[in-house]
A and B are shown apart, each in its own frame.
Chain A
Amino acid sequence: MSEAVLTAQQLRKDYLSGDRRIEVLRGVDLAVTAGESVSIRGESGSGKSTLLNLLAGLDAPDGGSLAWAGAAARAERRAAFLGMVFQAFYLIPEIDALANVLMAARMVRSPGVAERARAKELMARVGLAERATHLPGQLSGGERQRVAVARALMNSPKLLLADEPTGNLDEHTGDAVIDLLLSLCRETGTALVLVTHNAAYAQKTGRQLFLREGLLH
């Protein structure tokens, strides 16, 4: 059996709305093994992004436990352990595409020749070798998201979390980005957790889950 890169047990998250406590996640269990791809679908407001933020360690759960590769999930492990892709790309506008990819490496160490070579290789792999020196503002939405995918894979993470990565893209571009994401994860053996509304994209992953009433089904 493959090694578990992500183990979430009984994750709970509540929000206060006025005086009312809303239970968004009521005890989510999720285990993702190395190289596996998992999709999470759910209605708007069902807590998909909240769950992804908990899995990424960006937010603290109100209950339950989270482990990355068998060890406690801690913020200082995040840069080397996981990559994230967001709906809104979140590229740094002041630096070019290649520098944005290298930014992930900078979080771990000052990039050397090997890191620069890998960033260029990833830019080529996402089809943007010619656009490496372009600033984010000079790229289309699809191109920006491909840069974000390259950045997420820069540190060879064990796990890639993608939160509605096609949400801001047209259907054709979205298809291309999802295919790229899946093929890159397959090639590199990176586990993928994909949050999406799109059933077709979800079907492309190895396991499809649905978040309903605070639980994964």
Chain B
Amino acid sequence: MPWYLYLALKQLFPSGRRFPFFTAISVTGVALGVAVLIVVTSVMSGFEWGIRQMMVDTEGEVQVQARLPMDATGEILQRIRTTPGVAAATPFVKGFVMAMADNRPTFPTFRGIDLASVESVANLKRYMRAGSLDDLDDDSVVLSSILARSLGAYPGDQIEIYSPLLIQKLKSDEVFLPRRMRVVGLFEVGHQQLDSSTIYGTLRTGQEIFGLGRAVHGVDVRIKPDANEEAVAAQLNNVLPPGVRAMTWMETWDDFLWALHLEKRINFFLLLIIVLVAAFSVMSSLLIAVVRKTREIGLLSALGARTRDVALCFCAQAFIVGLAGTVLGLVFGFAVLAVRNEIVHGIARLLHREETLRELYQFSDLPSHPLASDIVLTIVFSIVFSTLAGLIPAWRAARLKPVEALRHE
């Protein structure tokens, strides 16, 4: 081991002595920054993962959509289902409607699903909170939970659904009555947008509401477990007619995913400030060390140390502090993640807010999904920042003149 590395280790962790205060403070600072980054990015990724899971659960990995309504009952659906990598497919219709209950209007998205095939693609039953999807028929609907609250309509109640065709009919002086539908269930996927504005009905109901005849707006596709969604979408695009396009769920939700990703990155860089502050703490500790050890630096020169090696000794200390802080921070961060739910429930219990947590944030357990890319980024930033923090002290140590250093009082 080169002497500068040996001495750097010994100065940080002296043999037979207590852990030095400066080292402890510096390592703790870096560790806290790393732990916070790990916890926050993992929890945010957990939310992101949950939302992705929900999207895939409710709409499949690939969605086939057409510019104009398409007849997906025959050949197109057959082509989709026989494409390699496709496990199942289900047609759907989707569009805005006006829903009213007790004169309270809302403008949700109506999604008509094919009861015969929907379960092979979408795991909707998982998200049912009241009633049952099995009760859904051409005269009933399932409401998203927040929408149900807005309408004041719950299972057993009736709501009226107005089709957008109403406007066209009015223009030709025709009377077009709203459809009265029975609420047979409530669902909640944990996503504000979907939970506040979605109605599920049968495909036939949807086709009637939107005046589609036998046409549909698209087809949700579930891929086989070992298939790749992008590859399947590409293969579907090869067999689909012009005007009909297959997109992965990532493409469908591109804007939303981008916003989520941006939010996470902004949080990451804001929290990185903690690591930056810790790096300044490392720098200040090492600058103090350079002053305290000026005579030792002079001695090292007298023993034959090269200027470059003296600088490396301080850089190595900064690197070791960064490394130790990062390792400690990772351990601490993952330990916090392991008991995150106990912590959240403990705080909520203490504040008597357990229900509020569930109602406001739609979760009772805090999700966590640590990503290798986030962990690597955290490790790289914390070690690089800490090592860079050692450059100024190293430079100061290196430019000390041996004779003046030895005379230093």
Binding site for B on A (CB under 8 A): 53, 56, 58-59, 75-76, 78-80, 84, 86, 88, 90, 92-96, 99, 103-104, 106-108, 110, 133, 135, 151
Q: Report how far A86 CA is from B299 CA in the complex, Å.
A: 9
Q: Known A88-B295, A103-B3; judge A58-B15 contact (CB<8 A).
A: no
Q: How far is the CA of A92 from the CA of B305 in the complex (A)?
A: 14
Q: A104–B301 Cα gap in the complex (Å)?
A: 11
B403 engages A58 (CB within 8 Å): yes
Q: How far is the CB of A162 from chain B (nearest CB, A)?
A: 12
Output the nearest chain B residue to A96 by Cβ-Cβ distance.
B15
In the complex with contacts A95-B10, A95-B15, A96-B16, A108-B2 CB distance below 8 A:
no
Assess the B303–A107 pair: CB atoms within 8 A: yes
Residue ranges of B at the interface with A (Cβ–Cβ < 8 Å): 1-3, 6-7, 10-11, 14-17, 295-296, 298-299, 301-306, 401-403, 406
Give chain B residues whose Cβ lies under 8 Å from the Cβ of A75.
Answer: 301, 304, 306
A53 to B17, CA, bound (A): 34
Residue of B nearest to A133 (CB): B16
Q: What chain B residues lie within 8 Å of A79 (beta carbons)?
A: 303-305
- Which residues of B sit under 8 angstroms from A56, Cβ to Cβ? 302
| B296: A residues at CB distance < 8 A | 90, 92
Chain A residues near B295 (CB, 8 Å)? Answer: 88, 90
Contact A94:B302 (CB < 8 A) given known A59-B402, A86-B406, A106-B6: no
CA distance A151 to B303 in the complex (A): 9
Can you pick out 11 interface pairs between chain A and chain B where the beta carbons lie within 8 Å of each other? Answer: A58-B301, A76-B306, A78-B302, A86-B406, A94-B14, A99-B15, A104-B303, A104-B304, A107-B303, A110-B1, A135-B14
Q: How far is the CB of A100 from chain B (nearest CB, A)?
A: 10
Bound Cα distance from A104 to B298, whole angstroms: 14
The one of A59, A90, A108, A135 in contact with B304, judged by C-beta atoms closer than 8 angstroms, is A108
Of chain B, the residue at the smallest CB distance from A54 is: B403
Q: A107 and B304: CB pair below 8 A?
A: yes
Interface pair B10/A94, CB less than 8 Å apart: yes
CB pair B402–A135 under 8 Å, yes or no, is no
User: Known contacts A53-B403, A107-B3: does B17 contact A94 (CB below 8 Å)?
Assistant: yes
Q: How far is the CA of A88 from the CA of B295 in the complex (A)?
A: 10
Q: How far is the CB of A144 from chain B (nearest CB, A)?
A: 13
A133 to B17, CA, bound (A): 13
A107→B403 CA distance, assembly (Å)? 19
Q: How far does the Cβ of B320 sit from chain A's closest Cβ, in whole Å?
A: 14
**A135→B16 contact, CB < 8 A:** yes
Extra contacts, 5 of them, besides A75-B306, A95-B15, A135-B14 (Cβ < 8 A), are A58-B402, A78-B304, A94-B17, A95-B10, A99-B10
Contacting residues, chain A, for B7 (C-beta < 8 A)? 92, 94-95, 103
Expressed in whole angstroms, the Cα–Cα distance for A76 and B1 within the complex equals 19
Q: Report which of A107, A110, A133 forms a contact with B305, defined as CB distance below 8 A.
A: A107
**Chain A residues, Cβ within 8 Å of B305:** 79, 107
Minimum Cβ distance to chain B for residue A10 (Å): 20
Please name the residue on chain A nearest to B402 by beta carbon. A58
Min CB gap A161→B, angstroms: 9
B403 close to A90 (CB less than 8 A) = no
Enumerate chain A residues within 8 angstroms of B406, measured Cβ to Cβ: 53, 58, 86, 90
Given A78-B304, A84-B302, A135-B17, are A106 and B10 neighbors across the interface (CB < 8 Å)? no
Question: Considering the chains assembled together, what is the distance between the CA atoms of A53 and B295 in angstroms?
Answer: 14
Q: Specify which of A80, A86, A133 lies most central, judged by the most chain B CB atoms within 10 Å of its CB.
A: A86
Task: Report how far A92 CA is from B298 CA in the complex, Å.
Answer: 11
Identify A110's interface contact among B2, B11, B302, B402, CB under 8 A. B2
Q: Contacts A104-B303, A108-B304, A135-B16 hold; do A94 and B11 have CB atoms under 8 A apart? A: yes
CA distance A125 to B401 in the complex (A): 33
Residues of A within 8 A of B304 (CB): 75-76, 78-80, 104, 107-108
Q: Which chain B positions have C-beta within 8 A of A99?
A: 10, 15
A110, B7: Cα distance in complex, Å: 12
Q: Nearest chain-A residue to B304 (Cβ)?
A: A79
**From A56, which residue of chain B is reached at the shortest CB distance?**
B302
- Which residues of chain A have C-beta atoms less than 8 A from B401's C-beta? 59
Known contacts A75-B304, A106-B3, A108-B304; is A90 also within 8 Å of B299 by CB? yes
